[in-house]
């Protein structure tokens, strides 16, 4: 399952790091950040709960760049 989230990230290097960190979160099969389009695309592992996984993703992203915003719907 793939979902798309809005993300506000100001620095391109941070986006790269956040992408790498999000990929390592349990339940995430693949993560990709479009810096220009400000979108975060998460491919979830089958059976994962997107909301719970996204909270983890948000946590690791905030660790890298506290200013970043992810809209988890």
Partner 1 sequence: MNARQKWTLGRILTAMAILIGLEFFPAEGWLRAGLYLIPYFIIGYDILRQAIRGIVQGEIFDENFLMAIATAGAMFLGEYREGAAVMLFYQVGELFQSLAVGRSRASITALMDIRPDYANRELGGAIERVDPDEVVPGTVIVVRPGEKVPIDGIVLSGTASLDMHALTGESLPRDVGPGAAVLSGCINLSGVLRVRTTKAAEESTAAKILELVENSSMKKSRAENFITRFARVYTPAVCLGAFLLAVGMPVGRLLLGEAPLWSAWLERALVLLVISCPCALVISIPLSFFGGIGAASAKGILVKGSNYLEALAQINYVVFDKTGTLTRGVFEVTEVKPQGMSKDELLAYAAGVERYSQHPISRSLQAAFPPERQLEEVTGYEELSGYGVRAMVSGHSVAAGNARFMKQLGLGVSEALQSGTVVHVAVDGRYAGSILVSDVVKPQAAAAVDALKKAGVRRTVMLTGDTPNAAAVVAAAVGVDAYEAGLLPADKVTAVEKLLAGKGFKEKLAFVGDGINDAPVLARADVGIAMGALGSDAAIEAADVVLMDDDPVKISLGMAIARKTLRIVRQNIVLALGVKAVFLIFGAIGLANMWAAIFADVGVMILAVLNAMRIFLQPQTNAIAPLLSQDVSREII
* Sole binder of partner 1 in the list 37, 52, 59, 71 (CB under 8 A): 37
**Beta carbon of residue 73, minimum distance to partner 1 (angstroms, whole number):** 15
What is the dihedral sign for C-alpha 62, 20, 49, 35? positive
**Beta carbon of residue 29, minimum distance to partner 1 (angstroms, whole number):** 14
**Is 61 in contact with 31 (CB distance < 8 Å)?**
no
Interface contacts to partner 1, rule CB under 8 A:
4, 10-14, 16-17, 32, 34-39, 41, 63-64, 66-67
């Amino acid at each position: 399952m793939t979902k798309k989230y809005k993300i506000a990230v100001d620095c391109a290097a941070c986006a790269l790091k956040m992408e790498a960190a999000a990929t390592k979160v349990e339940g995430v099969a693949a993560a990709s950040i479009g810096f220009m389009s400000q979108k975060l695309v998460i491919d979830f592992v089958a059976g994962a709960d997107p909301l719970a996984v996204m909270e983890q993703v948000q946590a690791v992203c905030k660790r890298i760049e506290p200013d970043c915003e992810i809209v988890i719907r």
